[in-house]
Chains A and B, each alone.
Chain A
Amino acid sequence: MSEISLVNVSKLYKNGFYAVKDCNVTIHDHEFFMIIGPSGCGKSTTLRMIAGLEKISSGELYIDGELSNMLEPQERNLAMVFQNYALYPHMTVFDNIAFSLKVRKLPKEEIERQVMSVADMLGISALLHRKPTALSGGQRQRVAIGSAIVRNARAFLMDEPLSNLDAKLRAEMRVELSRLHKKLNATMIYVTHDQVEAMTLADRIMVMKDGIVQQVAAPMELYRHPINQFVAGFIGSPEMNFIPVKSREDASGFSLIGKNLKVEADETIESAVHGDSHNETLQGNYAQKDLILGVRPEDFIPVSSYQAADFLFEPAVVENLGNDYLLHGYMVSAADPFGISRKKEKMIVISMKRNDTISDHDRIPMQIVTEHMQLFDPESGRNLLYPGTPADPETLATERRQA
């Protein structure tokens, strides 16, 4: 098993388009590492560059400390699972799994032993004599995974391996993959656009957008401390609510004011807005500027009185998910409880665990959990409350080279 480092890795196409730009990351030994982002963000290209299927335009790739830019895919000793399974249709399941071992000219008995052990592990022993066309999607996926894990590769690369499966199978395979990772204790690099997969499986997640790495962090770290508005919106389902606000300081203290919202802010927020936060890159003073307040759907608490409420919530659509509710609706100012709600405004989503039914006519007094609030600069999208300094790519690159 191995450690894989990317130092300033870029992929530049002939037309001048950067598919990946200055990617700096180290994937540790035994880590389940996820690369996530919307379509066309460069996540698959990054994986393919690691695999050697795509040439690296600039930067360095180290596998176990060895510079591997120029190594052929065969020489990197990595295994990969493809989105469309990539099984050889004219070979049986046994031959498909055994292929990489046969290429390495292992003794017949050894091949048989290893294939049987992998087949047992994945529960496909009964299918070994079938051709891939006679298998269901889930079974094919297992065979594809089997073909990858049968040999002792340094790391396993997976390119959206579950995206062709239906929702139920996907959930099953997720559990299977998690179990497999624990059992093999292998380094896995997994590309997906499904943030549920990323959140449930990953040790660490790298979020990409337009070829640029946005943030690399553990799932909950990403969820609670997104570096910018893009990451905040991409991670979490339903999406984080973004509400335009301005800061105001008066006799009652420091608060954030939206069209229909007033939130008392604590010191952390106040110092962030005033630009003297521990976040050194945020030098500007945001006191007079527009800001965007980010609140996760579960970070709203219904309160009993209008006085304690930050705003009133008027549900328009109630989605019953069984265990909890998703309420889509509009905000109404708590200062004017009988005012007309602004239907033209964007709806917000609130997730609630409540046993009683919610009428879509009620106006529910709501409070925001301030400790989980995020505050974004509308121009740069930066999170003012991000704890720590976004790393400088050059410093990171130097550190990695030295390592």
Chain B
Amino acid sequence: MSTLTKEEIDHLKNTANAKALQRRRLKTSALLITNVIFAFLILLPLLYAVSIAFMPSGELFSTEMNLLPKHPTLTNFRDALQKVPLFRFVLNSFIVAGLITIGQIISCSLAAFSFSFLNFKGKEVLFMLLMATMMIPGEATIISNYLTVSGWGWLDSYHVLIIPYLTSAMGIFLFRQFYKSFPISLYESAMIDGCSNIRFIFRILLPLTKSAIGAMAVYTFINAWNMYMWPLLVTGSQQMRTVQIGISMLNSVDAQSMTLMIAGVVIIILPSISIFIIGQKQLIRGMFSGAVKG
């Protein structure tokens, strides 16, 4: 039996290593390519919308395949901003969504605190009732809500857009789930130290549940930003319209311009996309908190 020399052994080793490396690279690239293809397919409508926003209106309706603008232009954006006070709408939406977000975080965290840390009679029943409200579709109550707020003379104002949404059962549920994984001994320790409930919430609970707050903030802000039915019903003047209504005002029966509308859409989705990108880590962490033991 012949023995292998050192060079031969090294050569065999190197070939085996190279093969393994190649196999691994191939696997990674295949995975990457598949992901890119799927991401592209999912993002296609959005990317196409961005592309249309830069197209001159004549270019869109042609028989050719035109995914990218041949003569990119900013006219659509200019026209959209001129036709309707889009910045005002964006500002309105920011005020409404922002205040709703702050309000929901405060009210939901306080309610969730009571449901998870305090002991009172009927706690479980009350919580069940609260959860049951999630099963009533918004459309079912919209008329009675409208009649109520119009009776109070609240129509066409900021508070009619904000106040009905200052709390949400979903938010309370989300916070409660998060607080369930919060060590109760910290609360007990704070109580023995002489800490009041309010002080505990603001000095200990909220700083320690930042990710839940982040998740809640992103979720609430995007929902409030995308509200359509309620603002349409309760606001009338251009001063009070929010972006979602504003964008539909670009669609006039007489002069429908698809590129103009899409340009408007691209302008208004920018804030919600950026909020999502900034808060996505918090959102995902918050949504799955308590799902598995950390």
Assuming the A-B contacts A84-B185, A86-B185, A88-B186, are A73 and B208 also in contact, with contact meaning beta carbons closer than 8 angstroms in the complex? no
Picked from B186, B199, B208, the residue with its CB within 8 Å of the CB of A86 is: B186
Do residues A100 and B185 form an inter-chain contact, with CB atoms below 8 A?
Answer: no
Q: Tell me the minimal C-beta distance from A96 to chain B in angstroms.
A: 10
Q: How far is the CA of A82 from the CA of B186 in the complex (A)?
A: 9
List the B side residues contacting A63 at CB < 8 Å: none
List the B side residues contacting A89 at CB < 8 Å: 208
Closest chain A residue to B207, Cβ basis: A90
List the A side residues contacting B190 at CB < 8 Å: 99
Closest chain B residue to A76, Cβ basis: B192
List the B side residues contacting A136 at CB < 8 Å: none
Q: How large is the interface on B (under 10, 10 to 19, 20 to 34, 35 or more residues)?
A: 10 to 19
List the B side residues contacting A79 at CB < 8 Å: 192-193
List the A side residues contacting B191 at CB < 8 Å: 52-53, 72-74
Cβ contacts A to B, 16 pairs, < 8 Å: A51-B192, A52-B191, A52-B192, A53-B191, A72-B191, A73-B192, A74-B192, A74-B196, A78-B192, A79-B192, A79-B193, A82-B188, A84-B185, A86-B183, A100-B195, A103-B193
List the A side residues contacting B186 at CB < 8 Å: 86, 88
Interface mask (B177-200 → A, CB under 8 Å = 1, otherwise 0): 000000101101111111110010
Closest chain A residue to B186, Cβ basis: A86
Q: How far is the CA of A103 from the CA of B192 in the complex (A)?
A: 11
Q: Tell me the minimal C-beta distance from B179 to chain A in angstroms.
A: 15
Do residues B195 and A103 form an inter-chain contact, with CB atoms below 8 A?
Answer: yes
Chain A contacts to B: CB under 8 angstroms: 51-53, 72-74, 76, 78-80, 82-84, 86, 88-90, 99-100, 103-104, 147
Supply 20 further A-B pairs (C-beta < 8 A) apart from A73-B191, A86-B189, A99-B195. A53-B188, A73-B192, A74-B191, A74-B196, A76-B192, A79-B193, A80-B189, A80-B192, A82-B188, A82-B189, A84-B183, A84-B185, A86-B183, A86-B185, A90-B204, A90-B207, A90-B208, A99-B190, A103-B199, A147-B193
Q: Tell me the minimal C-beta distance from B178 to chain A in angstroms.
A: 15
Q: How far is the CA of A147 from the CA of B185 in the complex (A)?
A: 14
Do residues A74 and B194 form an inter-chain contact, with CB atoms below 8 A?
Answer: yes
Q: How far is the CA of A52 from the CA of B191 in the complex (A)?
A: 9
Assuming the A-B contacts A84-B183, A86-B183, A90-B207, are A74 and B188 also in contact, with contact meaning beta carbons closer than 8 angstroms in the complex? no
Interface mask (B112-151 → A, CB under 8 Å = 1, otherwise 0): 0000000000000000000000000000000000000000
List the A side residues contacting B195 at CB < 8 Å: 74, 99-100, 103
List the B side residues contacting A73 at CB < 8 Å: 188, 191-192
List the B side residues contacting A100 at CB < 8 Å: 193-195
Q: How far is the CA of A83 from the CA of B184 in the complex (A)?
A: 12
User: Which of B188, B189, B207 gathers most chain A CB within 10 Å?
Assistant: B189
List the B side residues contacting A51 at CB < 8 Å: 188, 192
Q: Tell me the minimal C-beta distance from A375 to chain B in angstroms.
A: 44
Do residues A88 and B204 form an inter-chain contact, with CB atoms below 8 A?
Answer: yes
List the A side residues contacting B183 at CB < 8 Å: 84, 86
Q: How far is the CA of A82 from the CA of B185 in the complex (A)?
A: 7
Do residues A99 and B185 form an inter-chain contact, with CB atoms below 8 A?
Answer: no
Do residues A86 and B188 form an inter-chain contact, with CB atoms below 8 A?
Answer: yes
Q: Tell me the minimal C-beta distance from B119 to chain A in angstroms.
A: 8
